Structure 1
Amino acid sequence: MRSLEDLFACCPGLLEEVKRLPIRWDRERFRFWLQQDYPFVEALYRYQVGLLREAPQPHRAPLVQALMATVEELDWLLAHGADPQAPAHPVREEYVALLGEMEGLAYPYRLVLFYFLNRLFLEAWNAHVAGEGPWQELTEHWSAPEFQAVLFDLEVMALGQVARLDEGLLRAYLGRILEMEKKTWSLLL
């Protein structure tokens, strides 16, 4: 495997399918989607804590910054009415279960997959969210230079790991992540 981009050969067109979903935004749908985002972001927080525990020293600062961004997102969701005790939609439960499964992988795999989780979500977000609306604050958060710097650092760290990993395993999980992104965004159809 030569690059992170080579991994996308596993799922030709799946990211484009996600980006072309005919999302129908309105305040109520967005509110439902945010409510359902909380269990996933909480699981992502736990995933990141596990990464940080095993991270080599050069990876720790960027992972701490990524973890802080996740903590801020959880705070934002709570401030906007997310209920941590509310039942999760089956699609969100399935994505949380995938994160839990991925936690059993070795650190280098989890790091590369964490990069892809962020990248794929943001590519879909940028394709579906435009203009003003209740999502504007989140758009500003994810497009802030500080968060973009974290993504760049994650990409560099992932690039440093990917060449010595099992390409088949990475592609299998990448395909599953893309399928979960499609299901998650499909909640807004």
Structure 2
Amino acid sequence: MLKRLLQKHDRLWNDATRHPFLEGCQAGTIRPEQFNTWLTQDYLFVVEFTRFLANVLAAAPVAHFDVLLGGLVAIKEELNWFREKARERGLNLEAEKQATCEEYTQYLASWGVKPYPVQATALWAIELAYNQGWQLPGQMTAPYDEFADRWGNPGFTEYVKCLERQANESWQTASEGVQPQAEAVFCEVARLERDFWQMAFSETG
């Protein structure tokens, strides 16, 4: 079912996962201040994403707990990793959210009260965008290969596949009114992911 969303909205998804920011990381041409903007804002996003993931767990059937709990455990390590990278780069993680990040995190909060199939679709789409985005350009040059490995490694890829299976299961019992909501959220994730990459160029600081 979810694969149909990727096919139906292929151009939108392509924009979400193939972006000059990622190409610049692959080529080593991204400017440090651009990457630092993305890194700081992504940390702020992940803080709110953690809350969203907890809401998904609260709405999920018990059979889906193991995968989601695994995601929460990984998020704890990821937040610490972000803080380590920020220290290495001398970045202030207490920065204000920029407009794009603020918009995305507000959507995250609103999705946390949606029916579970909508939440599961959003979670899968967010994680898939990172998984594909960091893989598709090809082998990254240092130091960006570390970031590509975090979201492009086989373990994370398998996690995304598990999220896809769970979201597909939730669609099977969803009412007709819920499925259009899930599709709309998928499209919003794609748009917001595209804009988040672009933020590194348009809102550097």
Cα distance in structure 1, aligned partners of 2:149 and 2:15: 25
Give the one of 97, 106, 116 matched to 2:106: 97
What is the CA distance between 1:105 and its match in structure 2? 0.2
What is the CA distance between 1:48 and its match in structure 2? 0.8
What is the CA distance between 1:60 and its match in structure 2? 1.0
Cα distance in structure 1, aligned partners of 2:52 and 2:71: 11
- Please say which of residues 25-34 and 139-148 is displaced more in the overlay: 139-148
Cα distance in structure 2, aligned partners of 1:144 and 1:122: 8
Give the one of 14, 23, 29 matched to 1:16: 14
Matches within 5 A, 1:123-162: 123-128=132-137, 130-162=139-171
Residue pair 1:129, 1:135 contacting (<8 A) in 2 also: no
Cα distance in structure 1, aligned partners of 2:152 and 2:181: 31
Residue pair 1:7, 1:171 contacting (<8 A) in 2 also: yes
**Secondary structure of 1:172 counterpart:** helix
Relative to 1, partners in 2 of residues 1:18 and 1:144: Cα closer, same or farther, differing over 3 Å? closer
Matches within 5 A, 1:112-131: 112-128=121-137, 130-131=139-140
Runs ≥4 residues deviating over 4 A: none
Residue pair 2:140, 2:148 contacting (<8 A) in 1 also: no
What is the CA distance between 1:131 and its match in structure 2? 2.1
What is the CA distance between 1:83 and its match in structure 2? 3.6
Matches within 5 A, 1:79-98: 79-81=84-86, 83-98=92-107
Question: Could you say which residue in structure 2 is the equivalent of 1:76?
Answer: 81
Question: Could you say which residue in structure 2 is the equivalent of 1:184?
Answer: 196
Cα distance in structure 1, aligned partners of 2:126 and 2:18: 18
Cα distance in structure 1, aligned partners of 2:118 and 2:32: 37
Please state if 1:36 is matched with 2:34.
no
Cα distance in structure 1, aligned partners of 2:17 and 2:166: 26
What is the CA distance between 1:13 and its match in structure 2? 0.6
Residue pair 2:40, 2:92 contacting (<8 A) in 1 also: yes
Relative to 1, partners in 2 of residues 1:19 and 1:111: Cα closer, same or farther, differing over 3 Å? closer
TM-score scaled by length of structure 1: 0.88
Relative to 1, partners in 2 of residues 1:38 and 1:18: Cα closer, same or farther, differing over 3 Å? same
Cα distance in structure 2, aligned partners of 1:17 and 1:54: 30
Residue pair 2:131, 2:157 contacting (<8 A) in 1 also: no
Relative to 1, partners in 2 of residues 1:62 and 1:39: Cα closer, same or farther, differing over 3 Å? same
Instruction: Give me the identity figure in percent.
Output: 24
Unpaired runs of 5+ residues, structure 2, are 25-29
What is the CA distance between 1:38 and its match in structure 2? 1.1
